[in-house]
Structures are given as structure tokens and as C-alpha cells.
Chain A
Amino acid sequence: MKRTVWILLGFILFALLSVTIYMYFYSKPSAFLNDDELLKKINSTHTTAKAVRIQDTISVDDFHYFVPFQSKTGGHGTSYWEWKKNKWQVLMIDTVGQPLLWKVEGKTPSTYRIVWNLHPDDKVNSSHYYLTRERGYFITGDQENYFPKVEMVKKITHGKQSYGVVKLSKEWVSVIDSLIKMESVKQTNFYDHFTLSRFMYLGWTPYDRSGNEVIIEHSVNGNGYHVDDIDLEFVRYMDGIELEQSGGK
């Protein structure tokens, strides 16, 4: 009799424990934090951020948010949030907001987002983003290999907002996805982390109101603080000279 009770008790305990662990790791996110909570968390995590105003909270999906903010000195910063281990956690805080590619789920390009929060003094009116791969060739023995140039453009007009989050276009997703799938077939798996830069990179050229290229000064060289694992890829500033596009702007 005593034994049965113990077994039953053990079973209940085990079930409770599993449910708790499950809830802890796979819980549905609660409502996102309010501005005060966000500011508090940002300033306590990254003291040089000196955030004073949350500009917006933009959800990427139910589990991820991009939060642009303004600092005491007028700087425009960025922060990345994820619902993790049963609470909202900040992954990364940066005091500037030059464009970056946020790979929310590493190998699923449809979850990739270009995010930015540009300083108004940089006077960026529109941006051209480029998905680029260099043309190349190599010859080994009797095998020849040629890699076509890729240069696909996405044009974005900035409104009054200094910040933004955009998805990649369907075409970009297809192209990137085909490369990821190709890589996963390879038998030599030295890396399990997919980096776009092995094959391709993102570039951008910012333009001002009259259509001239802008040199970004206020939105770069900030102070970033990584809290948790996040996959952010640098977006390279591209000079018009580097482009093969014939159409101009």
C-alpha cells in the first residue's frame, strides 16, 4: 500500500515537473512590455544607452520585437527582444541604428528582417538595398566553375519615421533559400551556422531628398551591447561605383 502511494506521488511530481519545464521553455508570450519597463530594462542593461523615449515597438513575430529608442543626447538607438524562458528578454542594445539584417531564425530566410533606426541628421530620404554575390570562377584540374553575379535591388522610401523593419522580398528569399539548401547537402559539415557572407552579402546605398548619395555619420560607430545569442548581419555601405546596375536610381 505504502509503495503504491509513493509511486503515485512520484508520478504526480514527475508530471508537474514536466509541465513546469514545458511551460518554462515553450510558453506563449505574454503581452509585450510597456515603455517604462522597456526603458528601465535598456538602461539597466546598457548604461551608456541613456534611453529616454521609446519610439515604437514593432513585432517581427509573436516572439520577437524590434524596439527603436531615443537617448538623452538625441541619439537613435535600437534594441532586439525575444520571448525566452518565460519572459521578455533583450538580446542586443545598440546606441545607433545603421541597417542590419536580423536573422530571426538562422536558416529560414523568410524570417530575416532588415532593421534600422537612422539619425535624422543623416537626412536619409530613401535607401537602396542590394542582395549581392560577386561574379567569380575557379578551375581545378579539368573542372571549371563559374559563378554568376547577383545584384538584386530593393528600394525603400523613408517616411517621417527614422526607423523601420522590412521583410525580404519573395525573390530574395527564394535565392537565399536555394543557397542554404545547397550548402546543407554538402557532406563536409564544418560549420552548422549559416553565414550569408560566405556567398552573398547585403549592401545599401542611402540617398537624400534630391537623390544624391548620403554619407552616414550619425548612425554609425555606436556602442553595442550583446546580451544573448542573436544573429545579426552587417549590411555593407555600397558606393554607386561598386554597382553594375545600369538604370541609376
Chain B
Amino acid sequence: MRIADRITIRKYLHCEAVFVIHFYSVNHFPSILTESIALILVSILAYRIYKKQDEKPKIWKVLLLLVAGLFSFSIDWQVFGTFLKIPILPLGAWILYFWFRNKVEKWVAYRPFAWLGFFANFIFLAATLASIPIHHTLYPEKELSTYISKVEDPTVITLHPSASNVSLQKGVLKEQLHKMRPETIDSDGWYNQIVNIDIEPKERLEKFPYQLFGTIPKWGSGLRTLVYVERDGQGILLISPEKQFYFRSDQSLLVKGGGQE
């Protein structure tokens, strides 16, 4: 029941039109792939219905019916950091039914498309579900190279007065990308080590006083992370909108002194 544990109802019920094509601000290859397949599937189904019909409606009307049929009352669930839209009520189909209530012959020809529109919600839901394992196969969570596949013009910015200026050893990072091990984040432990009664505020040493810029995540992952580097240069804390990851190496990635390597 691990999966069930992970499923959290993130948002309350709400109602909105579902758009077929998501315009990703980031390129997420797995969803683009599965949703393209879903779109092709819906087109094939629409074509088969259309072929069987004696009275053929105009193509643009078919498209309109499909889009209107998509409109549904749905619940948003978040599973593994992905939002799933679970359609509940076929609002679009109902509205169309009401609209054409006095035009029976037309409705007979239109109805399959309206319902296909609603059904398409489930096809897209399946596509989203299918993209999750693809995502986890292509972009393993426990590998640093998922988040940092390339480094371009790296700069290290010092965020805290307790740290001095450093720069990145690009070569070492490249070599360590596949070697660094994931470790558990001891968030409250770290915090309490820094903030406690024995240490004056002015003596506090931040554990991650550097931010690394210029890292590029794996192609198509759509991941965006903030990259913080540990004081000793051997740890990397990745902060993504949903989750954090911590990696350690045996070697320091940093070298004292400002400026570029």
C-alpha cells in the first residue's frame, strides 16, 4: 500500500476546462511523448466513428464537439509529484446535449464525438500515468547526473558571511557526477547544529554557504533545481519545487579563491 500512502489529495475539488495540449514551459520529454500518443489515439477513434457514420458532420464541427466534450468536472490528485486530473462529470457532453435537445437527428451524429471528448480525458489521464515510470527510468532520482548533466560557465556565489570566496573545480565535478552518493537529509539535525544556545549568532557557520550556477539537468527532464554546495565542498544539496536531494563526494569540488577556474 505504499503507493496509496504517497497519494495525497493536494487540491480541493474544482471545475475547469481541460486543455488537450499542455504548453510546457519546460520540456518534459516523457509527458510530451505519452500525450502525443494519446492525441493520436483520440484522432484514430474519432476517425473510426466518423467513417461509420452515414450523415457526416463537418470536420470543424467534429473538432469543436471533441473540445467541448473534454470540458469536465474533475479532481486534481498529486501522485509522485505529478498532477492527475480525474474526470468525474461530463459537463461538456451535458451542455451539448442540452444545446441540441430539439435537434434529434443532429444530436445522433454529434453525440459520439461529445462522449469521445469526455472519454479522451481518461486517455490523457492514462498518458500522464504512463509518463511517470518513463520519467523514473530516464531520470533516476538517486543519481546526481539527473540534476546536473552538464556545467556551463559555472559560478559559485557565496551566500553567507561565514564563508570565503571559492570557485568550482569543473574537472572534479565532471568526474564526480556519476560517483557521488545520495545521503539522507538530516534537516533538523543540521539546523540545530547551527542554531543553538552555545553559539552566538555572529559565530554561526552555515552548512551550505554556496550556490552553484550554470548547471544543466538531463535533457527532457524538465527538472529545475537550486544547487547549494556544502562548506567543505564535498556535499551538494539540491532543492527542487517538490523535493530535496543530498549528495556527497570524497573530494572537494571547490577551491579557495575567487574568479573562474
Give me the interface of A with B, judged by CB distance under 8 Å: 135-139, 141, 143-153, 171, 174-175, 178-179, 181-188, 241-247
Tell me which residues across on chain B come within 8 A of A138, comparing CB atoms: 187
- When C-beta atoms are compared, the residue in chain B nearest to A178 turns out to be B226
A187 vs B226: C-alpha distance when bound (angstroms):
17
Q: How far is the CA of A181 from the CA of B243 in the complex (A)?
A: 16
Nearest to B206 among chain A residues (CB) is A149
Count contacts on B: residues with CB < 8 A to the other chain.
43
Q: A145-B187, A146-B191, A244-B202 are in contact. Are A185 and B157 (CB under 8 A)?
A: no
B106 touches A (CB below 8 Å): no
B247 at the A/B interface (Cβ < 8 Å)? Answer: no
Q: Which residues of B contact A (CB under 8 A)?
A: 5, 10-11, 25-26, 83, 155, 157-162, 184-188, 190-191, 194-195, 201-204, 206-209, 211, 213, 222, 224-226, 228, 237, 239-241, 243-244
Expressed in whole angstroms, the Cα–Cα distance for A149 and B204 within the complex equals: 10
Known: A147-B239, A188-B11. 16 other contacts (CB 8 A): A135-B194, A136-B191, A137-B190, A144-B188, A145-B239, A148-B207, A148-B237, A149-B159, A151-B161, A178-B226, A182-B240, A187-B83, A243-B202, A244-B160, A244-B206, A246-B202
Of all A-B residue pairs in the complex, the 4 with the closest CB atoms, nearest first, are A137-B187, A245-B161, A148-B208, A146-B187
Chain B residues whose CB sits within 8 angstroms of the CB of A244 once the complex forms: 160-162, 201-202, 204, 206
In whole angstroms, what is the CA distance A179 to B206 when docked?
19
Nearest to B237 among chain A residues (CB) is A146
A135 and B241 contacting across the interface, CB-CB below 8 Å = no
Decide if A179 touches B185 in the complex (CB within 8 Å).
no
Assess A146 versus B244: contact at CB under 8 Å? Given A135-B191, A181-B224, A184-B25. yes
The residue in chain B whose Cβ has the minimal distance to the Cβ of A131 is B159
A153 to B186, CA, bound (A): 28
Question: What is the CB-to-nearest-CB distance from B236 to chain A, in angstroms, rounded to a whole number?
Answer: 12
Question: What are the residues of chain A within 8 A of B208 when measuring CB–CB?
Answer: 146, 148
How far apart are the CA atoms of A141 and B2 in the complex, in Å? 12
- Whether B186 pairs with A182 at a CB distance below 8 angstroms is no
Q: How far is the CA of A182 from the CA of B222 in the complex (A)?
A: 11
- Whether A139 and B241, one on each chain, are in contact in the complex, defined by CB atoms closer than 8 angstroms, is no
| Across-interface contacts of A242 in B (CB, < 8 A) | 201
CA distance A148 to B210 in the complex (A): 9
A101 vs B148: C-alpha distance when bound (angstroms): 33
Assess the A146–B157 pair: CB atoms within 8 A: no
Cβ–Cβ contact A145 & B244, under 8 A: yes
CB distance from A192 to the nearest CB of B (A): 13
- Using Cβ atoms and an 8 Å threshold, which residues of chain A touch B158? 152, 171
Residue of B nearest to A171 (CB): B157
Q: Which of B157, B162, B185, B224 contacts A182 (CB 8 A)?
A: B224
Minimal beta-carbon separation of A135 from chain B (angstroms): 6
Can you offer 25 A-B residue contacts whose CB atoms are under 8 A? A135-B194, A135-B206, A137-B187, A137-B188, A144-B188, A144-B244, A145-B239, A145-B243, A145-B244, A146-B185, A146-B190, A146-B207, A148-B228, A149-B204, A152-B158, A152-B159, A175-B211, A182-B224, A182-B240, A185-B25, A185-B26, A185-B222, A185-B224, A188-B11, A245-B161
Contact A175 B83 (CB under 8 A): no
Nearest chain-A residue to B185 (Cβ)?
A144
* Cβ A174 vs Cβ B213 within 8 A: yes
- Which single residue of chain B is at the shortest CB-CB distance from A190? B11
Q: Are A148 and B159 in contact (CB under 8 A)?
A: yes
